Structure 1
């Protein structure tokens, strides 16, 4: 008998409305989405479609106007900002297109910071292993300004994985990179996802990247309109 997969993320009737001087604007309309443990999922849409807003809600960075969100067993919509931050620290990793590295820290220090904040005494050793995995063992002492865009994104990926997150959210992770470097970054995301069994949720406008995921959803004008089976995985 096959085991039912564990649900890592579940959104029910999720909506997001913001107030504007001219009135209210609904960014997301009645989103329903379930993502199982270990899955790779892409949310695809043009700029302004609402996909990054959806990622922010699923990750607990923002709260919905209505609806419910479950993340790794936690009902995010019922938690305070501090409680959501605690869930993110334990369960979530992030990779953004703008890297968001701290300029005053070296590559290794940027990677190890989340683990050190969590009290991991092995943070430095594990950071060095991750640096090796992302091909930057010789860049441990370099500052972000001394690294190329692709190298900075590899540091950001290593930082995201150092806490062994249950879920990794990646928002346009290769958008600011050239084609060859972007492909390497994408390969690295999937490799680490498979090694650690992390649930991977990608937000992208890139159909080719989305097709590498096990499932993908299309977002148009704040609505999740369809689900398509990917042609291949990995």
Structure 2
């Protein structure tokens, strides 16, 4: 008997509105989705379509105005910020286009910080191993200002994986990089996703990057307009 896929993330009728001068603005309308463990999913659409807002809700960085969102069976919409932060620390990794490295810490210190905050006694060893994996072992003692944009993004990816997250959210991870460096970063994300079985959710307007994922969820004006599923035989 074939085992049914394990649901990792589920959202039901999510909506998000924000207050504006003359009332409120609805950013997301009635969003429902299911993402299985280990899937790679691209959320695509033009700027302002609601992609990053949806990512924030799925990752527990924000809460919906209405609707429900579950991560590994945990009802994020019912939790406090401290409770959501604890889940993010244990289960979630993030890669943003702006890198978000701390300038006063070395590459190794940036990578190991989440593990050290979690009292991981093997943080340094694991950090060095991850820097080796992303090709930056020789840059471990460099500060962010001494690294190129591509190198900083590789440090950010290593940091995202230091806690062995169950799910990795990446928001335009190669948008600020040249084409060649961006390709290497994208290859690295999919390799780590494949090697560790991590659920990968990408927010992007890059159609070529989105096409590498098993599914593409297309957004327009805060709604899904399609859910394109790639033939699993083509995934690689």
TM-score normalised by length of structure 2: 0.98
Structure 1 distance, partners of 2:23, 2:177, is 37
Where 2:62 maps in the other structure, the secondary structure is coil
1:233 is aligned to 2:235: yes
* Distance of 2:72 and 2:152 partners within structure 1: 29
Q: Distance in 1 between matches of 2:84 and 2:161?
A: 19
Question: How far off its partner does 1:230 sit?
Answer: 3.1
Separation (CA, whole Å) in 2 of partners of 1:88 and 1:230: 29
User: 1:70, 1:219 → 2: CA distance?
Assistant: 20
1:211, distance to aligned residue in structure 2 (A): 0.5
Separation in 2, partners of 1:162, 1:194: 16
Q: Which residue of 2 aligns with 1:133?
A: 133
- Corresponding position: 1:153 with 2:153: yes
Residue of structure 2 equivalent to 1:26: 26
Count residues in correspondence. Answer: 234
Q: Does the 8 A contact of 1:13 with 1:66 survive in 2?
A: yes
Structure 1 residue aligned with 2:176:
176
Q: Which residue of 2 aligns with 1:162?
A: 162
Assess if the C-alpha contact under 8 Å between 1:211 and 1:233 holds in 2.
no
Q: Cα RMSD between the aligned structures?
A: 0.8
The two structures have a TM-score, normalised by structure 1, of 0.99
Deviation beyond 4 Å, 4+ runs, structure 1: none
Query: 1:47: Cα distance to partner?
Result: 0.7
Return the offset for 1:5.
1.0
Aligned partner of 1:70 in structure 2 is 70
Give the match for residue 17 of structure 2.
17
* C-alpha distance in structure 1 between counterparts of 2:154 and 2:49, whole Å: 27
For 1:51 and 1:229, locate their aligned partners in 2 and report how far apart those are by CA, in whole Å: 18
For structure 2, list consecutive stretches of 5 or more residues without a partner in the other structure.
none
- Specify the SS of the correspondent of 1:64: coil
- In structure 1, list runs of 5 or more residues that go unmatched: none
CA distance in 2, matches of 1:224, 1:84: 25
Looking at structure 2, the residues matched to 113 and 47 of structure 1 have their Cα atoms a distance apart, in angstroms, of 32
Give the 5 Å matches for 1:19-58. Answer: 19-58=19-58
2:223 corresponds in structure 1 to: 223
Q: Distance in 2 between matches of 1:104 and 1:196?
A: 30
Q: CA deviation at 1:233?
A: 2.6
Q: Answer yes or no: is 1:100 the counterpart of 2:108.
A: no
Single out whichever of 137-146 and 223-232 deviates more from structure 2: 223-232
Cα offset, 1:224, TM superposition: 1.1
2:204 corresponds to: 204
C-alpha displacement at 1:30, in angstroms?
0.2
How much does 1:191 deviate? Answer: 0.4
